Amino acid sequence: MANIETDAAGRPIAYDSAGRPLAVDARPVAVGGGAAYADRTVVERRSGGGWLLALLIIVALVVAAFAFKLINIDQISGGSAPKVSVTGGELPKFKVDTAKVDVGTKTTEVTTPTVDVGTKKTPVEVPTVSVQKADDTK
């Protein structure tokens, strides 16, 4: 049987992974005719916002360094863009064959309802589109 450390009242002592005793709230619980202790383990919670605080401090230090003239940047000579000279050359030429598209209208009969809930054929202008492939226009 394993040895379990207890405190002065005979309650078991729990330890975390670093070997530090955990804060426990032990109260007696009846188990199988004998007394045992139910422990409540306290878990430490750490937030992951430490890197954000560090970043804000670094930014504040850089801004303060400029504000208090700890950092001074002066331009000592002017700069200029390089001079580029282009001569000659010719744009490419292309021959493009495109499809021929004709858009127009034609009269056709469309069945439309009448007021007396009947239907009749009425002439209506509808759009038409015809396309000839590029190879067919030669």
pLDDT reported for residue 39: 55
Q: What is the pTM of this model?
A: 0.25
pLDDT tens figures, 64-79: 888 887 877 788 888 8
Angle at the Cα of 114 from the Cα atoms of 113 and 120, rounded to 5 degrees: 70
Q: Output DSSP code: residue 87.
A: -
Condensed to tens digits (0 to 9), the pLDDT of residues 91-123 reads 889 998 888 888 899 999 988 877 776 788 899
Tell me the β-bridge partners of 24: 41
Q: Reply yes or no on whether the pLDDT at 12 is more than 70.
A: yes
Q: Is the pLDDT of residue 1 over 50?
A: no
Q: Under 8 Å CB-to-CB from 97, ≥6 apart: which residues?
A: 134, 135, 137, 138
Where would I find the beta strands (DSSP E) of the chain? 27-31, 34-38, 100-113, 119-132
Of 1-15, 24-38, 42-56, 104-118, the one with minimum mean pLDDT is: 24-38
